[in-house]
């Protein structure tokens, strides 16, 4: 059994990490900018495999960028400030080339001002002892974070471009 030197082992790991970062942009998923606000760029990089697999399964491509890149030279500072904490998502159907674009806010997960959303659905409860059924509404609350918002928007846009 051969033993590897520490340097050889380090170089092998370094090369495999470099290959992973090169695969960050592919046919199904691409990040155009690294200047996305807060720590969102790192979160998107961590979720890139999940997004790429979803895009591949649905035959769409997903591009994420800083929306300020689309501003012209003569745009006011107001637009730059407004777009500074947002990202642009473009989902394109690879077969029909139909695309949908949204600009969504980058939610800082460390902020105390996280959004809380509620959903409600109707549930039928069987009351066997009385032979009755009762219909009631159940409300579920969940806390919004950046990745949940990103996934939901990509899913909604995928449904639009697939129709």
62-99: pLDDT as tens digits: 999 988 887 877 677 888 888 888 899 999 999 999 99
How many CA atoms, within 13 angstroms, populate the side-chain half-sphere of residue 148?
A: 11
Domain ranges (residues) in the chain:
24-106+145-162
Mean of the per-residue pLDDT values for the chain?
79
- The pTM (predicted TM-score) of the whole model is 0.66
d(CA 10, CA 55): 33
């Amino acid at each position: 059994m051969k033993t590897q030197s520490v340097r050889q082992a380090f170089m092998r790991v370094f090369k495999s990490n470099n290959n992973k970062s090169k695969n960050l942009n592919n046919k199904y998923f691409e990040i155009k900018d690294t200047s996305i606000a807060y720590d969102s760029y790192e979160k998107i990089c961590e979720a890139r495999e999940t997004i790429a697999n979803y895009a591949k399964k649905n035959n769409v491509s997903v591009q994420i960028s800083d929306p300020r890149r689309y501003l012209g030279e003569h745009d006011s500072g107001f637009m730059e400030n407004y777009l500074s904490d947002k990202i642009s998502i473009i989902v394109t159907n690879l077969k029909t080339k139909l695309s949908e674009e949204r600009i969504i806010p980058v939610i800082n997960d460390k902020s105390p001002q996280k959004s809380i959303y509620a959903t409600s659905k109707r549930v039928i409860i069987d009351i066997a002892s009385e032979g009755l059924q009762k219909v009631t509404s159940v409300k579920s609350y969940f806390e919004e974070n950046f990745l949940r918002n990103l996934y939901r928007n990509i899913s909604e846009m995928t449904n639009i471009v697939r129709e």
